[in-house]
Each structure stands twice: as structure tokens, then as C-alpha cells.
Structure 1
Amino acid sequence: MKGFLLSFRSEFYKSRKTIGFWGAVLLPLLISLLALAIFYFKSEKFIAMPALALWIQFALVSLGVMGTLLLPVFIIFIGYSVNSVEHRADTWKTLFSLPISRWSVYGAKFAYAVFLVFLCLDLFVLFTISFGNLLSVIKPELKFNTYHLEWELTQIYFKLFLSSLGVLSIQFLMSLLWSDFMKPMGIGLVLTIVGITAASKDWEYAYLMPYAHPMEALQSMFRGQKGPARDIVINVFTKDIYVSVAVAVVVFIAGYFIVQRRSVK
């Protein structure tokens, strides 16, 4: 455990000035600021909306951008950025020759990649809630403060986080084994397009494709609602989420044995 914690801390210090780390912070900030600007300057279009519908429209600005295309692309980028420092400096052999087990090094790198994705999505929740409540102060005619959507937003982004794990595990392994950025990026983008197409066309087996999981997560988010809007229930653990987590576990374990048995250049 000590070796794992040391390796995780090392990943933070190595990446804290990189685009990968700041992308996890700035991406939710900039998209949430865009939503804030839209609702501030076009407030007259939203005044008549009930508070729940207002919150949903506001949250959908970020979800519509992040949940369809940006999240898979962000995951592809994070999977590579965590390993890019070693690739650029050619320090893989040095890293694995340290008196720390390969399991600790490999596990800490993967855990840090997971942390960056979690941080990004967690900040989306924070900024969405904060900016929505800010709008109720600077634009009192927007009644954001009359309804609370914190728990629902947390569930939504938690589901998106779980849906990203399968893609992240695959991209992380490809980026660890290939120093060329274009290979994992190219493969990831092609599979993302295929996954988005399958999910958007409601293919019955799309839930088996990791790269379709973020869009599948959004599409399967809500159970059929027959009651009033206030009784809305978000279905977090759908079959696509179980597949995503299973893929992440299998690929993570397989990746360790691959790294353990081969020379990483």
C-alpha cells in the first residue's frame, strides 16, 4: 500500500502542470460558464419555465456536450496523458526498476487516470449547482432557488463516471503499450464513432460496446415516468453500467499481466 500511495502521489506531481490535469478542471468550468452565459443573456426565454424544467434545461447544456462526444474524447486523452510523461522521457525501464512493485506502479497510474475522470465529472456537478444558484441571485426572475436537483445531478454524473470506466481501461492499456499518440487516439476515435452510432440508433446490443456506454448511460438514465415530475427517479445501475465496470476490471487485470510479462520501452 505504501508503494501504491507513493506512486499515486508521484503521478500527481508529474501531471499537475500538464494539459491532462488542467483539462479535468477547466473543461467543466468553461462549459458551465457557457451555460451560465446562455441563461444570463437569454433569460427571457426561460422565465416561464417551472423550476424543475429550468434546472433540467440548464444541466442539459453541459450534459448534451459532455455525455455524447466530449466525454469519450476526454477519456481517450486522459488515458494517454497519464502515460505520456514516461513515453516522452523514455523512463519506463527506470520506473519499473525502482524498489516498488510493478503492481503498485501500474495500479497507481490507472487509479490516477480514474481520479482525473472522477474529478472532472464531480466538478461538473459542483459548477452546475453553484452557477444555477448564482443565476437565481443575479437573475431573480429565474427561480432556480425554488427547486433542488443536487441529488439527481450527482446520480447522473456518477452514472456517467461508471459508464466511462470500460473505455478508460482500454485506452489506458493501449496508451501504456504504445508510445505513439496516434494509435490509441485513432483507434479510440473510430470506436467512439461506432459506439455513438450504435447507441443513437438504439441497437439492441449497443450496451455490450464500451465506447457506446456514455451515450447509453444518458439514454437509459430515466425510468418510465408516469407520475408527476417531482417523482422522477434516475436508474443508475442499468445493464450498460454493469458491462462497463466488468470490462474495466477484466482489462485492468489483463493489462497488469501484459505489463508484468513484457518489456515496456
Structure 2
Amino acid sequence: MKGFLLSFGSEFYKTRKTLGFWGSIILPLAITLLAFVAIYSKSDHFANKPGMMVWIQFSMISLGSMGTLLLPIYTIFVAYSVNNVEHKADTWKTLFSLPISRWAVYGAKYAYAFFLLTMCMALFTLLNIGFGNLLGVIKPELKFSEYHMELQLAQVFFKLLLSAMGILSIQFLLSLLWSDFLKPMGLGFVATVTGVILATNDWKYAYLFPYAQPMAAIKSMIKHQRGPADHFEINVFTQDVYVSLIIAVIVFFAGYVIVQKRSVK
């Protein structure tokens, strides 16, 4: 455990000035601020709508963008940036020669990539809640205060996080084994476009393809309406999320076996 914590801490110091780290802060801030400006500038258009609908319109700007291309692409970039630090400095051999197990090094790097992804999704949740309530104060006619969507937003972004775990494990392994930018990023981008096409066209097996799972998660998030019209529930653990987690675990342990048996340059 001590080796894991030391390795995890070193990842922060190595990446704290990189775009991968700051992207987890800038991306949610920029998109949520854009949503704030969009709703604020068209407040007259939304003034006659109920509070729940205004919340949905506001939050879907973030959810729609993250559920299609941005979340998969950002996940790919995070996985690449965490391992690129070692590729760029040519320190893999030095890192694995330290008196710390390969398991601790490998696990800490993966955990740090997961941490960056979690921080990004947590900030999306907090900023959507914060900016939404701020809009309710600045523009009372938007009726944000009539409906509370904090729980649903937390559930949706948590579901998006889980749906990206398969992508994270695959890209983490690819970026660890390949030092160049084009192979892991190029394959990830092509796979993301393919996943978006599959999910958009409602292919019945799209949930089995990791890069389609964020969009599939968005499309399957709302439970069948059984209560009043002004209430809805988020279905977090759908089949796409379960498949994503299964793929993530399998690829994670397969990656460790590969790293153990292969000389990482």
C-alpha cells in the first residue's frame, strides 16, 4: 500500500502542469459556463416553461456534449497523458527498477487516470448545480428554484463515469504499450466515431462496444415514468454500464499480465 500511495502521489507531481490535469478542470468549467450564457441570453424563451424543463434544457448542454464525443475523447486523452509522461522522459525502465512492485506502479497510474476522470465528472455535477441555482437567483422568471435536480444530476454524471471505464482501461493499456501519439489516439478516435454511429442508429448490440457506451448510457438513463409528470428517476445501472465495468476489470488485469511479462521501453 505504501508503494501504491507513493506512486499515486508522484503521478500528481508529474502531471499537475499538464493539459491532462487541467483539462479535468477547464472542460467542465468551459462547457457549464457556455450553458449558463446560452440559457441566460435566451431567458425570455424559457420563462414560460416549468422549472423541471428549464433544468433539463440547461443540464442537457453538458450531458449531450459529454455523452457523444467529448467524454470518450477526454478519456482517451487522460489515459494517454498519464503514460506519456514516462514515454517522453524515457523513464519506464527506471520506474520499474525502483523498489516498488510493478503492481503498485501500474495500479497507481490507472487509479490516477481514474481520479482525473472522476474529478472532471464531479466538477460537471457541482458546476451544473451551482450555475443552475445562480441562474435561478439572477433570473427568477426561469423558475429554477421550483425544482431540485441535484440528485438526478449526480446520478447521471456518475453513470457517465461508469460508462467510460471500459474505454479508460483499453486506452490506458494501449498508451502504455505504444509511445507514439498516433496509434492509441488514432485508434481511440476511430473507435469513438464508430461507437457514436452505432449508438445513434440504435444498433441493438451497441451496448457491447465500449466506445458506444457513454451515448448508450445517456439514452437509457431515464426509468419508465410511473409517478407524477413533474418527477423522474435515473436508471444508473443499465446493461451498458455493467458491460463497461466488466470490460474495464478484464482489460485492467489483462494489462497487468502483459506489463509483467513484457519489457516496457
Q: Could you say whether these structures have the same fold, taking a TM-score greater than 0.5 normalized by the shorter chain as the test? A: yes
Q: Deviations over 1:36-93 (max 9, x none)?
A: 1111111101101100001000000111111111110001100100001100000000
- Code of the residue aligned with 1:54 in structure 2: it is V
| Equivalent residue number for residue 68 of structure 1 | 68
| Equivalent residue number for residue 28 of structure 1 | 28
Q: Deviations over 1:172-223 (max 9, x none)?
A: 0000000011000111011111111111111111111001100000011112
- Code of the residue aligned with 2:158 in structure 1: it is F
Task: Please show how residues 124-203 of structure 1 align to structure 2 within 5 Å.
Answer: 124-203=124-203
Give me the whole-angstrom Cα distance separating, in 1, the residues matched to 2:155 and 2:227: 20
Give me the whole-angstrom Cα distance separating, in 2, the residues matched to 1:255 and 1:226: 44
Give me the whole-angstrom Cα distance separating, in 2, the residues matched to 1:232 and 1:41: 27
| Equivalent residue number for residue 40 of structure 2 | 40
Give me the whole-angstrom Cα distance separating, in 1, the residues matched to 2:61 and 2:152: 16
Aligned length: 265
1:141 Cα shift?
1.4
Residue aligned with 1:215, SS? helix
TM-score of the superposed pair, with normalisation by structure 1: 0.98
| Equivalent residue number for residue 241 of structure 1 | 241
Give me the whole-angstrom Cα distance separating, in 2, the residues matched to 1:151 and 1:262: 45
TM-score of the superposed pair, with normalisation by structure 2: 0.98
- Code of the residue aligned with 1:15 in structure 2: it is T
* Large movers: runs of 4+ above 4 Å: none
Give me the whole-angstrom Cα distance separating, in 2, the residues matched to 1:154 and 1:229: 21
Q: Deviations over 1:126-164 (max 9, x none)?
A: 000000111111112121122110000000000000000
| Equivalent residue number for residue 212 of structure 1 | 212
- Code of the residue aligned with 2:121 in structure 1: it is L
Residue aligned with 2:32, SS? helix
Give me the whole-angstrom Cα distance separating, in 2, the residues matched to 1:57 and 1:143: 13
Q: Deviations over 1:97-150 (max 9, x none)?
A: 001000000000000001111110110000000001111111121211221100
Give me the whole-angstrom Cα distance separating, in 1, the residues matched to 2:229 and 2:253: 43
Give me the whole-angstrom Cα distance separating, in 1, the residues matched to 2:225 and 2:140: 30
The reply to whether residue 58 of structure 1 matches residue 58 of structure 2 is yes
| Equivalent residue number for residue 80 of structure 1 | 80
Give me the whole-angstrom Cα distance separating, in 2, the residues matched to 1:200 and 1:96: 43
- Code of the residue aligned with 1:64 in structure 2: it is G
TM-align CA RMSD:
0.8
- Code of the residue aligned with 2:36 in structure 1: it is L
